[in-house]
Structure 1
């Protein structure tokens, strides 16, 4: 969201009240349940990795290690110390708890998640992720907020009520989540410690309020104050019923997720929870210069993995693990080349993790390809659009119709095999496609031209060309093709020398290929 637009929206709704010192707006529980199966009791927990996580040190592409070592030997994890998920892929040694989830088939790793025309600004890229929009579109609403507003345009007037007693979305330990931003108000609520919530005395307001700007502001304050007290009581009672405060763990992220677990266990029917862990903007001192396996990034990854594992264990203890799915996201990854300050700068795509007992464990996609001659600004090429992950969760977890999801996000999302072992409504058999095309090109590097060779089913495909920082520079092909083998000649004579990425995609599959140009 543009800052100017945000300020206009904020001014329209006046200054919000606070819960535990955090700005809040209350939310009706059924806001987007109008689109959800009424018997659906599923919950989504979002973990935001603030700052832009370095995906190449989080997930090591062992089959690209020699070229990676040339680009980032100042920070690269030792190949022998990676926690192997396969012969080609390993996790950072600080992610032992995440490896445990993977071994139990409770973790899915999606390679190289991002979006076309990557923006490398923290503010702008976070806006894109939370709004679920294209990089060139400025959307002031969140991808969940658009759901809420469609059926609760009168909010906050009349909420909470008998049919909508609980918050829909709760952020623990931070400001309200922009994923739930509506055109006027934010349909989410933020808390720190539910155990310390207390009612604010409600003064007696004049029953006759003028129909002026002042009167409108006063009505909003009155409504928000009443909602604060109503929701505070609901949250506190639910927290106590769920077991109350758990002793501090020494891991701030786990402490936040423990609060989430207690609220779920206490019976709140909240559908979305958001927690945040910051510090991933590792321009300098990302690791110890002499021991790359320790340092700031390693500490953050250990906290993340420990929190995910601890939260999952607690959900299993409460027999709630088949109702909850967790997902990490970060505004971007880091560049391939390390900088001179033992760190990394803003990049493009990065791995995304989903976890839970209903997650289809394993990996989706392939390791990123690292060239032997990486450009200074080059980032990891996108394989999967983040909106395809959102869409797959909405369809298979919240049981939403694909037609509604297309309106919310975008027409061309790919349905990914994320959920397994729990009831879903998907009529598409994900097991019949490996979610990857056969794609090759020759000559590579290209001098004036290259021939693209690929195999497809009878389907609609797109083939696009991106530069090394993720900007789309050419639509090579878009249309229906028959089943079989195909070839396309790509003229590269007008391209500057350097590295490019070819991406072919359909509704159910994708493949990226690194292209060098030496014209």
Structure 2
């Protein structure tokens, strides 16, 4: 059964109190059309810290590299040249991405990093996923904040007729900090589509305890019920025969696991999911030793990793092209950091800073943003590549030219101002009507006015009865004020909040009422 048949014919499942049978309404037509036009972002995370100098190779720096990297450098004559660039090439294992370049569907951003880079895998990963500065701890991810901007009522009243599908899907592993928003997972994690989640949707029939833990238990149950229902729609969207490309790596071929994840992404988009963000990953890029074969630097562990990513991405792009929706799907890669200029005696490279990022899709600008890194002849083991672009400028480009946010909204999502880059064709941005529909989806439990405010603001909230907890947090997730924590009869209420002693900036208000919760942005100005 395909997704449309599931949504129109199923009478057992419910979405936010609406029977799925209700989706046969004539109002559904425009929503299906909108689903076919919405843009999708596919994030590929390369865990371990990718060696950018052996990925995007600066041929005009080859003489110095030959001295600094005798243990890992690719022979110059075997580097895959990029048309119309000349001085830059790809690792010889990356035929798939070179083909995308020649098709005009690949872009590269050079020298991506941030001031005072961190070389810990865990902390650096957190920085890239949350969009934090080196000395900043955030409890929300950059994509999580975007999804909250787009769907501010989530998770209250979700799934619903406007958005019956997961906002984001992580394939393999946990949801991760990139898709978090102040304690709310803005997506779900699955491993496959045959049994992606518990599909019953009706696990908990007994009421929660009136004890102090009842509200927390109710929240857990609410999330579980949403997860169950999302499992149903994910399974219904996994239409057999959707995948068309014969290029996906399989079996023991490099990239087979990543290819399977991307194959699922293509399948779910083809099946009609309106999910905005898909997040997949590949591991193994922490190549301190035996990065290359000592007798042939074009093969080895790193070559296999690059071939796997390249071939999987090439197959995915082929698939979505054959399926007819490549104009609304774009992908990007990132790692938590790059590697040092000078290689080590173990045939590997150690943690560094700047890295190249890839963008793929029919709407990316087919160019290299930035220049080849300058390799100083005086480089030592401690020398890093210079930063050319802050990674949050890359994120700003995605928000501006792919998801079509205004400048002030980009600043809100990224918690500061970063200059966007010209890496995506902005001509196909959706109109504001879609965003307005998304913002109205779900149930509005908490709002405040004025916003922005200078000293005081008024919260308006809705209680379903039972204990209501309203808290204010700063952008690093630290509790600033508990506004309310008491039983409140069912109804809508207002409460005045004084934040005059707080510094200007972004704050978050969080409401929890038994099993429901909602988070709102607050902006305090001078």
Instruction: Name which of 395, 400, 405 aligns with 2:405.
Output: 400
2:314 maps to 309
1:137 maps to 136
| Cα distance in 1 between the residues matched to 2:70 and 2:274 | 48
Q: CA deviation at 1:409?
A: 1.6
Query: In the alignment, is the contact (CA less than 8 A) between 1:245 and 1:259 conserved in 2?
Result: no
Q: CA deviation at 1:149?
A: 4.2
Q: CA deviation at 1:223?
A: 1.6
Query: In the alignment, is the contact (CA less than 8 A) between 1:131 and 1:143 conserved in 2?
Result: yes
1:206 maps to 206
Deviations 1:142-190 (A, max 9, x none): 1122244467676444322223211011011221032111112211111
Instruction: Name which of 249, 270, 274 aligns with 2:275.
Output: 270
What is the DSSP-based 3-state SS (H/G/I as helix, E as strand, rest coil) of the residue aligned with 1:206?
coil
2:440 maps to none
What is the DSSP-based 3-state SS (H/G/I as helix, E as strand, rest coil) of the residue aligned with 2:238?
helix
2:515 maps to none
2:242 maps to 243
Change (3 A) 1:213 1:409: same
Q: CA deviation at 1:217?
A: 3.1
2:39 is equivalent to residue 42 of structure 1:
yes
Q: Under a length normalisation based on structure 2, what TM-score does the superposition of the two structures give?
A: 0.70
| Cα distance in 1 between the residues matched to 2:430 and 2:149 | 23
Instruction: Name which of 79, 82, 89 aligns with 1:82.
Output: 79
The unaligned stretches of length 5 or more in structure 2 are: 1-15, 17-33, 432-526
Query: In the alignment, is the contact (CA less than 8 A) between 2:142 and 2:414 conserved in 1?
Result: yes
Query: In the alignment, is the contact (CA less than 8 A) between 1:40 and 1:398 conserved in 2?
Result: no
Q: CA deviation at 1:322?
A: 0.2
| Cα distance in 1 between the residues matched to 2:415 and 2:204 | 48
What is the DSSP-based 3-state SS (H/G/I as helix, E as strand, rest coil) of the residue aligned with 1:48?
strand
Query: In the alignment, is the contact (CA less than 8 A) between 1:257 and 1:275 conserved in 2?
Result: yes
What is the DSSP-based 3-state SS (H/G/I as helix, E as strand, rest coil) of the residue aligned with 2:184?
coil
2:353 is equivalent to residue 348 of structure 1:
yes
| Cα distance in 2 between the residues matched to 1:282 and 1:204 | 47
| Cα distance in 2 between the residues matched to 1:421 and 1:148 | 20
Matches within 5 A, 1:241-390: 243=242, 249-250=250-251, 251-390=256-395
| Cα distance in 2 between the residues matched to 1:156 and 1:330 | 30
| Cα distance in 1 between the residues matched to 2:140 and 2:368 | 31
2:447 maps to none
Query: In the alignment, is the contact (CA less than 8 A) between 1:195 and 1:244 conserved in 2?
Result: no
Deviates more, 1:193-202 or 1:393-402: 193-202
| Cα distance in 1 between the residues matched to 2:156 and 2:226 | 10
CA RMSD of aligned residues (A): 2.4
Change (3 A) 1:154 1:271: closer
Change (3 A) 1:303 1:67: same
| Cα distance in 2 between the residues matched to 1:275 and 1:93 | 24
Deviations 1:408-466 (A, max 9, x none): 2254422211223852489xxxxxxxxxxxxxxxxxxxxxxxxxxxxxxxxxxxxxxxx
Query: In the alignment, is the contact (CA less than 8 A) between 1:51 and 1:330 conserved in 2?
Result: yes
1:472 maps to none
Q: Under a length normalisation based on structure 1, what TM-score does the superposition of the two structures give?
A: 0.71
1:51 maps to 48
Q: CA deviation at 1:221?
A: 3.4
The unaligned stretches of length 5 or more in structure 1 are: 1-25, 27-36, 427-519
What is the DSSP-based 3-state SS (H/G/I as helix, E as strand, rest coil) of the residue aligned with 1:196?
coil
Change (3 A) 1:75 1:271: same
Change (3 A) 1:293 1:39: closer
Change (3 A) 1:149 1:423: closer
2:69 is equivalent to residue 72 of structure 1:
yes
What is the DSSP-based 3-state SS (H/G/I as helix, E as strand, rest coil) of the residue aligned with 1:46?
strand
Query: In the alignment, is the contact (CA less than 8 A) between 1:202 and 1:225 conserved in 2?
Result: no
1:33 maps to none
| Cα distance in 2 between the residues matched to 1:138 and 1:240 | 41
Deviations 1:193-227 (A, max 9, x none): 112345247345333x3343321232123223322
Deviates more, 1:63-72 or 1:38-47: 38-47
Change (3 A) 1:81 1:193: same
| Cα distance in 1 between the residues matched to 2:62 and 2:249 | 39
Q: CA deviation at 1:40?
A: 5.8
2:66 is equivalent to residue 61 of structure 1:
no
Deviations 1:121-144 (A, max 9, x none): 111111111111211111111112
1:493 maps to none
| Cα distance in 2 between the residues matched to 1:418 and 1:245 | 28
What is the DSSP-based 3-state SS (H/G/I as helix, E as strand, rest coil) of the residue aligned with 2:142?
coil
Q: How many residues align?
A: 390
Change (3 A) 1:378 1:425: farther
| Cα distance in 2 between the residues matched to 1:396 and 1:325 | 11
Query: In the alignment, is the contact (CA less than 8 A) between 1:40 and 1:399 conserved in 2?
Result: no
Query: In the alignment, is the contact (CA less than 8 A) between 2:244 and 2:319 conserved in 1?
Result: no
What is the DSSP-based 3-state SS (H/G/I as helix, E as strand, rest coil) of the residue aligned with 1:144?
helix
2:227 maps to 228
